[in-house]
A = this chain, B = another copy of it.
Amino acid sequence: MPPEEIARETTTKGRLMAEQTPSEGLQLRSLVRADQVLEVFLETVAVPEPGPGEVLVRVEAAPVNPSDLGLLFGGADLAAAVVTGSGERPVLTAPIPDAAMRALAGRTGTPMPAGNEGAGTVVAAGPSAEAQALLGKTVAVAGGAMYSQYRLVNAVACLQLPDGTPAIDGASSFVNPMTVLGMVETMRMEGHTALVHTAAASNLGQMLNRLCVEEQIPLVNIVRKQADEELLRSAGATYVCNSAAPEFAGDLTAALRETGATLAFDAIGGGKLASQILTCMEAAASAASAGYSRYGSAVHKQVYIYGSLDRGPTELARSYGMAWGVGGWLLTPFLQKIGPAEVARLRSRVAAGLATTFASSYAGQMSLAGALQPAAVAQYGRMATGSKYVIVPTLR
């Protein structure tokens, strides 16, 4: 095709799509008010025109990840949530306890959009070649503010989904897949050869299990329920330990001896589990070495806390010598550390595996307004296995 024809066609297509796009759309906002009340509501915002290099995405699916809940609800007491407003424009309010309020000083008074990731159709594009190439395509985006009907993003930030992939299948293509890949990369970068994972039957945990099975990485899964144990075993997991079982410490130590795992990723955070894991790692390391050292084994044992299902304090018994570390782990700084080329490599791996390794499943779908109903909040706010929900902003 000669250059003029390409230009004409993209212009026509751009105009065509733009004509279908309304001038305003809804966006979910979370506001921490100075009177210690959380307010979550839908704002009408102008739908912007794409600049050069930008595309406008009609968001068709955006999951509610545990990592979204903090920004959405800011630690408010959701059991006391109340909804006012109309069915189409509900307003959820809930009181914020004193302790939570202190951590929210930086955002008080500023309504914040939410939704880390999602997918949808590119309905308008700026004049650059990258942007035009995406017109009409289904893309996944991890740009924040995805709980919106329309979202303007840079074309280079879009992950084009394989042709025929429904938006909902690509909605969770960033947070969970990149996190499980990040865990495995961290393991390699820090010289470990096996992994431990807690809350291991979560969507993310099942994904990590599939990845480890595929890559033959020994993985010790820790769950709290018999049903979760069976779910993981039926998905090919070799090591599943139930922290609610009386024989947990012995089971975990045995699994750690067999796998040699000295790195754990912990989604729970609070309580004694991180410390128990370190204790069992030390028991496994001591059993493998001879002699006594009052400082414990020389084997470095690490737990990274990447979630906070239990918001209470982490209690470390320090009964595992001196070669140990506990710390926070977050996807964004990890991706900054590995750099854009490596990030691009991991993202194309995700795109290729969206229907298999990196597939997500949802317990239910809801509209933007539906996401503000207390019954829905009670469901997706639980962060329990099998309770992952997706917001579909095109639903009424």
Contacts and interface: CB of A to CB of B under 8 A. Distances in A.
Interface of A: 70-71, 103, 106-107, 110, 112, 269-270, 275, 286, 291-295, 298, 305-306, 308, 311, 313-319, 321-330, 332-333
Contact of A333 (B70, B106, B323): B323
Contacts of A332: 295
A327 B292 CA distance: 21
- Highest count of chain B CB atoms <10 Å: which of A70, A270, A275, A327: A327
A201 to B, nearest CB: 23
A324 B314 CA distance: 13
A332 B323 CA distance: 11
Contact of A317 (B313, B318, B322, B327): B313
Contact of A294 (B71, B316, B323): B71
A316 B266 CA distance: 15
A325 B323 contact: no
A298 B337 CA distance: 12
A361 to B, nearest CB: 26
Contact of A106 (B286, B317, B318, B319): B286
B305 A318 contact: yes
B323 A326 contact: no
A106 B316 contact: no
A326 B325 contact: yes
Given A71-B294, A313-B317, A316-B314, A327 B330 contact: no
Contact of A328 (B110, B291, B292, B325): B325
Contacts of A323: 328, 330, 333
A353 to B, nearest CB: 27
Given A292-B107, A323-B328, A308 B314 contact: no
A275 B298 CA distance: 25
A319 B270 CA distance: 11
B70 A294 contact: yes
Contacts of A316: 313-316, 326
18 contacts: A106-B292, A106-B293, A107-B292, A269-B318, A275-B313, A295-B332, A308-B318, A313-B318, A314-B318, A315-B315, A316-B316, A316-B326, A322-B333, A323-B333, A325-B325, A325-B326, A326-B326, A327-B327
